[in-house]
């Protein structure tokens, strides 16, 4: 199928009123695509900021880890029966189906050897590689160049090794919570459809398959951290060897939020609930409950985080709390099966007698 034909068909599907028909946006903080796989809504600028800060937390660049995490996560979805390769003919239909998926998810317009208007250069190339491997039925090497922000060219070559299915990653417990589809009515997200993606509010956004972060976490376990990373800013209970990786992801998410302009004004407890619903639950990142808050004195707040990736949510919440209170925080993490309790308070100050 020609590149022009693919672009015309994808544009037609993208601009139709049902671009996200079949997607489920649960009020409980979990989103799913039209095949029932968990997804998270991210802003393009947010993701660039988060991955840039995450890369800085490690002693060596993690770009290839990010790319292959996207590829492996997409490969899991492509095992779904709706993406089965036809035995006789039907390849044009499969091309259109995958090109439409990339547009509906907001990753950009995928064509033969190109990605136009990528959501994130490394992630979009990773997803494109998964699609190329699905067609080829083999593992491929990919080389790519980005001569301009809105266009990526790539070339693939077959590896000599046979294709081995991506295995579900082994992850630290960290109080992770499995996404569950809510029986409640679907959220009415205000997604403004554009030719190659969509906007959520004022920023271009996209849907990230939740397993991308699973594979990324798995690939980064044991990887040396940057010597400049502050390693003790979180106090964990119980202590665990993987806490430094949790800290790296949380720190990157906190820095990402600090670069945003998201306002946080809290006059009473229900204001916190409103903020976390808007910033976390209405993105598909999971559920956050406000267990306790004091708005004077020590300014202490306790959140319960139920999320597939609690480290990211905790980092965002720390950034929100510090912006709201105009001060640094003392952070405690209590890990339990299925949730994490995040306690934030004004840092204690030790006064020493001056003689």
- What is the model's pLDDT at position 74? 97
- What is the model's pLDDT at position 171? 85
Q: Name the architecture of domain 230-345.
A: 2-Layer Sandwich (3.30)
Contact 109, 117 (CB under 8 A): yes
Quickly state the pLDDT bin for 241 (edges 50, 70, 90): low
Task: Tally the C-alpha atoms within 13 A of residue 89's C-alpha that lie toward its C-beta.
Answer: 0
- What is the model's pLDDT at position 92? 81
- Residues 256-263 have a mean pLDDT of 95
The SS3 of residue 205 is strand
Q: How far apart are CA 206 and CA 198, in angstroms?
A: 7
- Residues 174-180 have a mean pLDDT of 89
Q: How far apart are CA 205 and CA 219, in angstroms?
A: 25
* Closest to 95 in 3D by CA, of 126, 136, 141, 144: 136
pLDDT > 70 in the chain, percent: 90
Residue ranges of the chain assigned to CATH 3.30.1380: 230-345
Neighbours of 326 (CB within 10 A): 7
* Closest to 246 in 3D by CA, of 201, 190, 313, 296: 313
162: buried, middle or exposed (CB in 10 Å: 19+, 13-18, 0-12)?
A: exposed
Q: How far apart are CA 189 and CA 282, in angstroms?
A: 8
Q: Does the structure show a pLDDT above 70 at 190? A: yes
The SS3 of residue 54 is helix
- What is the model's pLDDT at position 337? 92
What are the CA-CA distances from residue 209 to residues 187, 258, 335 (Å)? 18, 24, 24
Q: Does the structure show a pLDDT above 90 at 89? A: no
- What is the model's pLDDT at position 296? 62
Task: Tally the C-alpha atoms within 13 A of residue 93's C-alpha that lie toward its C-beta.
Answer: 9
- Residues 220-244 have a mean pLDDT of 87
Contact 335, 175 (CB under 8 A): yes
Q: Does the structure show a pLDDT above 50 at 157? A: yes
Q: Does the structure show a pLDDT above 50 at 16? A: no
pLDDT tens for 59-80 read 999 999 999 999 999 999 999 8
- What is the model's pLDDT at position 3? 52
Cis peptide before 65 (omega within 30 of 0): no
- What is the model's pLDDT at position 163? 63
What's the mean per-residue pLDDT of the chain?
88
- What is the model's pLDDT at position 13? 47
CA quadruple 11, 69, 142, 98: dihedral, nearest 10 = -30
Quickly state the pLDDT bin for 347 (edges 50, 70, 90): confident
Query: Burial letters for 261-285: b for 16+ Cβ neighbours within 10 Å, e otherwise?
Result: eeebebeeeebbbebbeebbbbbbb
pLDDT tens for 291-320 read 988 766 567 899 999 999 999 999 999 999
* Closest to 134 in 3D by CA, of 66, 88, 80, 64: 80
State which H helix or E strand residue 177 sits in: none
Q: Does the structure show a pLDDT above 90 at 15? A: no
Q: Does the structure show a pLDDT above 80 at 355? A: no
Quickly state the pLDDT bin for 4 (edges 50, 70, 90): low
- What is the model's pLDDT at position 61? 97
pTM score of the predicted model: 0.90
Q: How far apart are CA 269 and CA 95, in angstroms?
A: 50
Quickly state the pLDDT bin for 82 (edges 50, 70, 90): confident
Quickly state the pLDDT bin for 242 (edges 50, 70, 90): confident
State how beta strands 151-158 and 38-43 pair. unpaired
Q: How far apart are CA 325 and CA 264, in angstroms?
A: 9
- Residues 163-177 have a mean pLDDT of 81
Report the range of poorest mean pLDDT among 7-11, 117-121, 298-302.
Answer: 7-11
């Amino acid at each position: 199928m020609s590149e022009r034909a693919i672009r015309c068909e994808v544009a037609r599907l993208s601009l139709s009123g049902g671009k996200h028909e079949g997607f489920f946006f649960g009020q409980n903080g979990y989103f799913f695509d039209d095949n029932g796989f968990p997804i998270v809504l991210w802003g393009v600028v947010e993701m660039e900021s988060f991955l840039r800060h995450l890369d800085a937390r490690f002693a060596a660049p993690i770009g290839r880890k990010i790319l292959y995490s996207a590829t492996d996560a997409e490969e899991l979805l492509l095992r779904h029966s709706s993406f089965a390769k036809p035995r006789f003919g039907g390849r044009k239909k499969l091309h259109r189906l995958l090109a439409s998926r990339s547009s509906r998810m907001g990753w950009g317009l995928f064509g033969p050897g190109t990605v136009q208007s990528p959501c994130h250069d490394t992630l979009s190339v990773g997803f494109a590689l998964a699609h190329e491997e699905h067609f080829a039925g083999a593992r491929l090497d990919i080389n790519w160049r980005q001569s301009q922000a809105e266009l990526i060219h790539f070339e693939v070559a077959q590896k000599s090794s046979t294709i081995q299915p991506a295995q579900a990653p082994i992850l630290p417990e960290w109080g992770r919570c499995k996404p569950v589809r809510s029986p409640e009515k679907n959220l009415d997200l205000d997604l403004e459809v554009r030719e190659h993606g969509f906007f959520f509010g004022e920023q271009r956004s996209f849907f990230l398959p939740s397993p991308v972060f699973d594979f990324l976490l798995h690939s980064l376990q044991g990887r040396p951290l940057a010597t400049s990373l502050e390693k003790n800013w979180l106090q964990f209970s119980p202590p665990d060897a993987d806490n430094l990786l949790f800290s790296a992801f949380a720190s990157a998410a906190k820095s990402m939020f600090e670069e945003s302009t998201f306002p946080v004004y809290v006059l009473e407890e229900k204001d916190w609930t409103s903020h976390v619903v808007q910033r976390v639950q209405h993105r598909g990142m999971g559920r956050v409950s406000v267990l306790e808050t004091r708005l004077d004195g020590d300014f202490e707040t306790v959140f319960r985080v139920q999320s597939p990736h609690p480290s990211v949510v905790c980092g965002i919440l720390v950034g929100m709390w510090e912006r709201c209170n105009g001060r640094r925080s003392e952070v405690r993490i209590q890990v339990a099966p299925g949730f994490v309790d995040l306690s934030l308070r004004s840092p204690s100050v030790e006064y020493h007698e001056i003689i």
